[in-house]
Each structure stands twice: as C-alpha cells, then as structure tokens.
Amino acid sequence: MAEEAIKLGGKKKSMFIDKVKAIIPEGGNLNLCLTCGACSSGCPATGLDGMDPRKFLRMAALGMDEEIVKSDWPWMCTMCQRCIYVCPMKIDIPQLVFNARGLRPRDQRPKGILGSCDMQLRNDSTSAMGISPDDFIFVVQDVLEEFREAQPEFAEMEAPIDKQGAEFFLNQNSREPVTEPNEMLPLWKILHLVGADWTYGSHGWAGENYCLFLADNDSWEKVTRTTVNQANKLGCKIFLNTE
C-alpha cells in the first residue's frame, strides 16, 4: 500500500534547520545531503515511527517544523552517530535531532527522561536514582568490606572516595549501587590489579546525564559542572567517564 504523499505549503520565513545551521560549526553540512540513504541503512532507529535519518533531514530542509515538533522519532534516536560515520558528506544529523528535541516545551518532553533529569538536579550526587552522597559512601564501603572478606587475595584493594590528588576521577552509573552493587567490583579489581591511582567523588559521582538527552542545555551543563568541580577540588588529573 502506497504511503500518503506529503503536502507542502509555502516557504516559511524562519525555519528550524536555518536556526540549527547558525548554531553548529560550518552549519553541520546540513545542506549537503545527496539523499543516498547511507545514514538510514545503518541507523538503529530507522523504521521506528515511520521515520529514518534521511526522511527527518528532508522534513527539516522542507520547513516541516510543526511535523518535526510532533514527531516522537527524535526521542528514539540514540545519538550513536553512525549516520555521520557513513555519510559521504559528514552531515551532522544528531545535532539536528538534539535541537529538534529542544523545540518541545520542557514539560512536554518524555516523562522518564524529564523525571531523571530533575532528580539529578536535586542532589549533589547528580544521581538519577536520588542516592545521596552519604548513601553512596555507605554502599561502596559495605561492598568493599564484604568482598575483601570473601576474597583475601584482594584484601588490599581500595575503593576510595574523595581521595585528594588521585590521578583518575571515576564516575559510576547510579543504578548499580542501588540494584546491583556487586557489579561495581569488576572495574575496581581491574584498577587494583593495574595499580591505578583513582577515586570517586562524593559529589558528582553519577555517570549518567539525562539532562543531556532531554536537550536541556543549562541543566546538563550544571550536572557536568558538578562533577568537574569535584574532580578539580580533589586535584585529579584525568576524568574517567564510564558512561
């Protein structure tokens, strides 16, 4: 069954794609599309909601701003950037998608991402699970103590928090301390065996950043800044982002 043809109106004075071109370096090459379909062939979100990267880009180019705002497809994009990797013109479709998310009023964006972002903003851990710094410290110390007792060969292993002058500042997905705390151990063991000088921070230790996926620029910058400030406060040289 043939798809219904898209009907276009007159050219609009101010189009979404023009605003995005003005934001990203060199316009993100958004006007260089050859409609070859390479982006769609490798995209994990192709076909979802009847959309794919090539179709989305064409809608933007044709000024279909209202349709873009209503579409749920930008929220299905994983921002994996496969489309840029395979595109012969290196068109920055993920940046177009990111800015398309920002077209929606904040309170109308997906509730799961919105709620997780707001939770991150409410605590110094920046944890989407709402874990406080004190709770995180307790869980890490408890898991470490039990592991040392169970495996004496790792009796000297450390899982430091707020260690001043450590070389590496490590973050952590905040779901693991709540639901699967033992899943933190494999990375600790690797860091111990290679002799890495590392630390968590009591503040800004959570690795996820839902505010980034929400396309809330001020909020995702605040979450990231909390982590960076703690790493700088401790004098760490390298930030290891596990996410």
Segments of the chain assigned E as strands = 168-170, 198-199, 238-240
What is the tens place of the pLDDT at every residue in 111-127?
Answer: 999 999 999 999 999 99
What is the tens place of the pLDDT at every residue in 210-242?
Answer: 999 999 999 999 999 999 999 999 999 999 988
Of 222, 239, 231, 234, nearest to 123 (Cα)?
222
User: The pTM is what?
Assistant: 0.84
Of 161, 158, 142, nearest to 203 (Cα)?
161
Neighbouring residues of 59: CB distance < 8 A, sequence distance ≥ 6: 6, 67, 68
Could you tell me how far CA 73 lies from the centroid of its own chain? 17
Of 143, 155, 165, nearest to 192 (Cα)?
155
What is the tens place of the pLDDT at every residue in 141-168?
Answer: 999 999 999 999 999 999 999 999 999 9
